[in-house]
Structure 1
Amino acid sequence: MPNSFKDWVKTLYVIFAFCSVLCFGALKSVLVGPIAGLILIIGNCGVILGLFPAHVAWTIYTLLKTNRFDAPLKVALLLGLPALFGIWLGLSIGGSVVVGVGYGFFTPWVSSFEAFRLEDESKKFYHCIVDGTVGTIKGSCTVVRDFADLCYHSYPSYLKELRENPASNELQPLRFVHVPACIIVGLIGLVVEIPLYTAIALVKSPYMLFKGWQRLLHDLISREGPFLETACIPIAGLTILMWPLIVIGSIVMAIFTSFFIGLYGSIIVYQERSFQRGIAYVIAMVAEFDEYTNDWLYLREGSILPKPRYRKRKPSSSTHLSVGRNQSLRDRFGSAFPEAPGMLVPSLTASRSVREVIKEVKMVQIWGSMMKSYEARGKELLDVTAITPSDLSDWLKAKHSNEATVIDVGLPCYSFLHTLLNSIKAGSNGIMLLDGTEVNHLNRPQDRLLDWFFHPIMVLKDQIGVLQLEEAEIRYLEKMLLFGHDKERSTSWENGSFKTQDALRAAQLEGISRRMVGMHRSVSKFPTYRRQYRQVVKDLIIYSMVKDGSTNTIAYSVPKEGSNRSINSNSSAPKAKESSKRSMSSGSVASIEIV
């Protein structure tokens, strides 16, 4: 059979499959989308409105209690709180509606196309129909739960750190004369930035639409980027069809970010002690956004709009680490914004192939390995009675996780320390995951979120490697991380440690401990962290129950949350098995009892 004929048959098959999956996906979106969307919208709006009085009370209490702000700055922030909370309600409820509709409509559709990538031809049709139905509804419930964790646990944690941190010498006092200027510039920023950002985004959206289509069609014809692999052609084809929606999403994101860009003018007034420079910032940010979008869309450089200077002093040297198109914006924002604000414009450069992308270590793989490491180290500590089942139970029952710091902070930091030590012993240039995968500068995920942590972690790893810690010093550092300032618990656990008599060495160990605790506290504020870590704690409780009920070897399998757990034992331990089954059959915390 001629190769050209084979290619035609293959092309017709891909077209037929694409049309079929498109129809199945649309049908599932119509049936499942409204249910998943309503769950997400009603759940998130319930969390927002239900916790709104508590958010107001927590915020006002923190502003009055903190030592980081002087009296005039507190007055300015208190006067601006009504506007900030109004913006929060509007954006959060509106965003919940948009996310709910988008998630409920597109997730079943995309799941149908993902099923087309299966290698088993006999299962493709089944998964095209089934995938994205029940999973989408469960996913919407998970989103609501993560959002509730963010509002109920992460936000109070930020406020508590703000209250407990000592006064910073970097913050300059604000005079009462600048309070009206901060409020006026913030309002002017909203009035100017929102309509102009919207106008610029709307004017340039047609060019983005056709430029994106041109890039995707070029990849389709030349079989580059996402079209290199035959299995990914349907998903790439869906991208071509949905590109107008991506453009609309970019416009919405531009409007969304304009709120925060406008309000940042108040901070410029505070930093520069000048009303005129605050106004200059408002004007300059319009030109910055125009220049930013020109760079992303490969239009002419610069902007015809005026761009007055609003900084008296030069930006810090740390901003010179940034490269690429966002250099000018990052120089102006400094450390306040890690990335230039603006329209969420997808890259229109040539896409990488699937083979190139698949070599990267995915963020979900790192997250899963981190949780498995927590569980493995937790079992080790349970075996040596460094932590107890009551510690785990106290963390589950605590309204705020800080009430059980041994489990909340100690166990993750203990696990993180051993991850770094294992990476150093293995001579890795990066971080060794629990399964032996190395994450380094070459294969790490190209994720903006990971950028905030990867470089500091690598610096900390190098510092620990340079110290060449002795075994007893490592054991002492374990105690510091696990128990913190609880001297009674630290003394009761005999792990062969001793406190060094060298004052410099002791200070270095304490510095490492503080940095690791700080990194963990930042990671623990992410919404998905608490849900997954809660499952780890539940698994450790069940492990301790089975361990106490039998002295023989027990094989324990750890499934995902919500699935049935299985415990296989060669010994007869009916009491442990019965109690374990009771705890496994119920998802509530109250049903977990320690035997």
Structure 2
Amino acid sequence: MEPLKGFWSCLWSFLRFLPFFLALLILGTVKGIILCPFVCLIMTLGNSAIILGLWPAHVVWTYYCMIRSKQLGPVLKFILALGASMILVLWPLVGILGSILIGVGYGFLAPVVATFDAVGEGKANDFLHCFMDGTWSTIERSFTVVRDFRDVCFYSYFSIMDELHQRDPPNEGPYEIRLWYVPGSWVIGFLGVMVDMPTITLIAIYKSPYMLFKGWKRLFQDLIGREGPFLETACVPFAGLAILLWPMAVAGAIIASILSSFFLGAYAAVITYQEKSAKMGLFYIISSLSVFDEYSNDILDMPEGSCFPRYQYRKNISQRSKSLSRHSSLARKNQDEKNPSLRATSFKGILPELKPLKLLDRMFSECKHYGESLIGEGVIAPEDIKESRSGKGGGSRIVSIGLPAYSILQALLVSAKRDSDGLILSDNTEITTENRPKDAIFDWFFDPVIVLKDQIKAQNFSEAEEQYLSRLVLLLGDSKRLNNINDQLPPLEQRRQAEIHAFARRLCGITESLSRYPTVRRRFDGLVKLLYEDLEKKFGSTKPVNGGKVTQNLTSRIIRIVSQKSFQSRKSPGSNSQESQSLNNVL
């Protein structure tokens, strides 16, 4: 929707919209007040039961994994045990209080947002949607939040601790703390806090009036012209509330600056310890003031620069920074040569930003597509689906890690062949730096995958090597099936095999980290359910017939025939027809 031009037309649009806005706000508030107690009760009871029920297991397994870890030295284990003790003691209290606050906030705000969103573009019968939207959907999503919280506390937590326990130490030995550097680091850290806290507080207070009046000016301009946060109907109540509460936002920014100054100054202890130099720690204390001053100037659109000097507080960083700047300039040059129009691209030409949850849905759609294909080829056996469905032993690694890694690898191979700067999915959706989700958690996944894509592109794998890499990624957790790969594919050089194994391990490691994302487990269970239902449609149901026993004989014969197809080369054109005929005979 294009904003209106002209002062009087904008003012008339605002006055005409005001009664409509107030009616929606009152309706959304009433819905929020009614639903808030129920949502808060669901989240509080559900999350509290999970926290208290798993707390003994968390305590025991945390200490067990830290003590048995080969990556940590004895002194570091002792210090981490002390820190973990504080966290474990406070976790039930913080978790339950956080659940109450989140339940109250979500239970009230979700119906309000849904009420304003009900009158958005493309919806029929707006009047009915204003009353219905945000009621039952809010209750359902509160149960979803509890389920995702359970997955994080149960699956993600134990997966992270198992990795700490099972991973081998680095080549130079376990991580350890050098005790003789600790006292000096503590002194420099204390000095950093004493210098940074009062100085940053004065800087924040000095710039707060500018932030207050500049923010009010921009918000009122957007209000009259229906631009910025006032352009979307669902955002209008929060944007209007921002005008009233903007002084509190400025005060909150000052408080946040004061709190952050403590950690910013205390980080001088880390610099001193890492660089083994008190001089570098002192240089960091001065430079941190310059960094904060310049950062606040950028946020407030004030003149660039700072009155504080910035020193180099890292040793041997000049060459690395030069190489990084040279690499980034070359990358920008190549980008401009490939896409010269990007240098003059307007805001309207930018691709719409993809949302992390929508991107996860697309990724699991890819998994479903490739999963059905691999089941049809016999590469993924029905036992793998059933093992993941039952959840015994953590489920099948081939399905839980191998299948998502296989799907990501196919996107990497396609992107490398098309010389894409991002990641191309099977539906030709391209994820680039312009439209990728602006989310720190997503960056942990996206950046390593793009690096891996560039390395795959540089390797220029042959078709046989791509097939070997695909099967290796899929079956990395099954040594028995991995042994069949060498017999089925053309022989490769030993060095080339080692490089392909390294790629497979890295991609599986990235996928395993992604599997700990809060909503991934729920989506994975939905994927397994769809694959299981598809398996039943193709090969018949295994449910009891006429109250009798499960037809295990039929199921076992189907599994045996399908599994025989696993990693077999099609030597004759009639092999597929013979296998299909044998399957039809069984059915």
TM-score interval, normalised by the smaller of the two chains: 0.7 to 0.9
**Post-superposition CA distance 1:566-592 (Å, at most 9, x none):** xxxxxxx9979xx9xxxxxxxxxxxxx
1:47 is displaced (CA, Å) by 2.9
SS at match of 1:14: helix
Alignment of 1:405-554 (within 5 A): 405-426=397-418, 428-484=420-476, 486-491=478-483, 497-498=488-489, 500-549=491-540
- Choose between structure 1 and 2 for higher RCO, CA contacts under 8 A separated by at least 6 residues: 2
Q: 1:130 to 1:482 in 2, by over 3 A?
A: same
8 Å CA contact 1:476–1:499 kept in 2: the answer is no
Taking structure 1 as reference, are residues 432 and 74 closer, same or farther at Cα in structure 2, changes over 3 Å only? same
Q: Letter of the 1:81 partner, please give it.
A: A
| 1:167 equivalenced with 2:170 (yes/no) | yes
Q: Distance in 2 between matches of 1:234 and 1:501?
A: 58
* Residue 364 of structure 1, aligned match among 330, 338, 357: 357
Does the 8 Å contact 1:472/1:497 carry over to 2? no
Deviation, structure 1 residue 400: 6.2
- Cα deviation for residue 548 of structure 1 reads 0.7
Alignment gaps of 5+ in structure 1: 324-351, 551-572, 580-594
Whether the 8 Å contact between 1:39 and 1:140 is mirrored in structure 2 is yes
**Pick aligned residue for 1:80 from 74, 78, 83:** 83
Does the CA contact (< 8 Å) of 1:423 and 1:430 recur in 2? yes
Match of 2:155 among 153, 156, 159: 153
Q: Report the Cα offset of residue 286 of structure 1.
A: 7.4
Give distance in 2, aligned partners of 1:95 and 1:205: 30
* Equivalent of 2:72 in 69, 73, 96: 69
1:378 aligns with 371
Q: 1:26 to 1:293 in 2, by over 3 A?
A: same
**2:131 equivalent in structure 1:** 129
Give the secondary structure class of the aligned counterpart of 2:519: helix
RMSD: 4.4
Q: Which amino acid aligns with 1:213?
A: W
Q: What amino acid does structure 2 have at the position aligned with 1:437?
A: T
- Structure 2 contact 73–174 (Cα < 8 Å) conserved: no
1:217 aligns with 2:220: yes
Write out aligned runs for 1:323-362 (5 A). 359-362=352-355
Measured against aligned partners, the alpha-carbon deviations of 1:479-511 in whole angstroms (never above 9, x if no partner) come to 2111115332234589x9425432232122112
C-alpha displacement of 1:157: 1.9
**Aligned equivalent of 1:394, options 371, 377, 387:** 387
**Paired residues for 1:554-565 under 5 Å:** none
Larger mean CA deviation between 261-270 and 208-217 belongs to 261-270
Does the CA contact (< 8 Å) of 2:468 and 2:485 recur in 1?
Answer: no
SS of equivalent to 1:527: coil
Q: 1:177/1:502 Cα in 2 relative to 1: closer, same or farther (>3 Å)?
A: same
Q: Is the 8 A contact 1:284 1:306 kept in 2?
A: yes
Post-superposition shift, 1:61?
1.8
* Separation in structure 2 between the aligned mates of residue 509 and residue 145 of structure 1, nearest angstrom: 37
Partner of 1:334: none
Amino acid at match of 2:532: I
What is the CA–CA distance in structure 1 between the aligned matches of 2:94 and 2:319, rounded to whole Å? 32
CA deviations on 1:227-271 (whole Å, 9 max, x unpaired) are 5x5xx2562453131463883776787688678768766655653
Q: Provide structure 2 residue ranges, at least 5 long, that are not aligned to the other structure.
A: 327-345, 550-586
Quick check: 2:200–2:289 contact (8 Å CA) kept in 1?
Answer: yes
Identity rate, percent: 37
Structure 1 contact 414–482 (Cα < 8 Å) conserved = yes
How far apart are 1:37 and its partner, in Å?
Answer: 2.4
CA contact (8 A) 1:369 1:434 kept: no
Cα gap change, 1:506 to 1:56, in 2 (>3 Å) = same
Match of 1:331 in 2: none
Match of 1:142 among 141, 144, 149: 144
2:103 matched to 1:111? no
Matched residue pairs, number?
Answer: 520
Letter in 1 for 2:146: V
Matching residue's letter, 2:385? L
Question: How far apart in 2 are the matches of 1:539 and 1:28?
Answer: 35
Deviations 1:518-564 (A, max 9, x none): 211221111111111111011111111111129xxxxxxxxxxxxxx
**Partner amino acid for 1:35?**
F
Residues 47 and 184 of structure 1, relative CA distance in 2, 3 Å threshold? farther
Summarize the Cα distance change of 1:199–1:233 in structure 2 as closer, same or farther, 3 Å threshold: farther
Deviation at 1:67, TM superposition (A): 2.3
- Letter paired with 1:548: F
Q: CA deviation at 1:366?
A: 2.0
The structure that has the greater radius of gyration is 2
Deviation at 1:27, TM superposition (A): 0.9
CA distance in 2, matches of 1:425, 1:176: 51
1:25–1:112 Cα contact (<8 Å) kept: yes
Confirm or deny: 8 A CA contact 1:115 1:124 kept in the other structure.
yes
What TM-score comes out, normalization by structure 1 length?
Answer: 0.73
TM-score, structure 2 length as denominator? Answer: 0.73
Cα gap change, 1:137/1:55 in structure 2, threshold over 3 Å: closer, same or farther?
Answer: same
* CA distance in 1: counterparts of 2:316 and 2:87, whole angstroms: 29
Q: Is contact 1:76-1:183 (8 Å) kept?
A: no
Which amino acid in structure 2 is aligned with residue 235 of structure 1? Answer: C
> How far did residue 149 of structure 1 move?
1.6
State the one-letter code of the partner of 1:29. Answer: G
Map 1:50-65; keep pairs closer than 5 Å: 50-65=53-68
Output the CA distance in 1 between the equivalents of 2:90 and 2:193. Answer: 11
Separation in 1, partners of 2:287, 2:413: 48
Contact 2:31/2:112, CA 8 A, preserved across alignment: yes
